[in-house]
Amino acid sequence: MKVNLIYFAWVRERIGKTEEEMELPKSVVTVGDLLSHLKGLGEEYETALQFPDVIRVAINQEHVEHDEAIAGAREIGIFPPMTGG
């Protein structure tokens, strides 16, 4: 499946991209699978996602846990814990 990945804050800076479209292999089923897959794409992804536990993910602009399936996702946001307010 093809998804649009959007990165924010230090995840964006470390990966060096604001967003990208990506074709995902069938083996990527959950959010956790996606983060593992991205980590293997190069040093910048490895640096950005080296501590996946702290990474927050939103599918179609709604927060999801790492065990959530990504089926049906058009847009997946990947970012650090939020620090607004």
Partner 1 sequence: MSVPSPTIRVQAHDFDLQAEVDALSGGRMDIGAIVSFVGLCRSEQGGLSALELEHYPGMAETEMKRIADLAIERFSLMGATAIHRYGRIEPGQNIVLVIAAAPHRQAAFDGANFIMDYLKTSAPFWKKEHAADGTAGEWIEAKGIDDKAKDKWG
Residues that bind partner 1 (CB under 8 A): 6, 8-10, 58, 61-63, 77, 79-85
Considering the complex, state which of residue 72 and residue 85 has its C-beta at the smaller distance from partner 1: 85
Min CB(31)–partner 1 separation in Å: 16
Kind of pairing between the strands at 2-7 and 75-79: parallel
Min CB(32)–partner 1 separation in Å: 20
Q: How is the beta sheet containing 56-59 ordered, strand by strand?
A: 19-23, 2-7, 75-79, 56-59, 62-64
Give the DSSP H/E element, type plus range, for residue 39. Answer: helix 31-39
Considering the complex, state which of residue 24 and residue 64 has its C-beta at the smaller distance from partner 1: 64
Considering the complex, state which of residue 27 and residue 83 has its C-beta at the smaller distance from partner 1: 83
Strand pairing partners for 7? 78
54's tokens: 């702290």
Min CB(2)–partner 1 separation in Å: 20
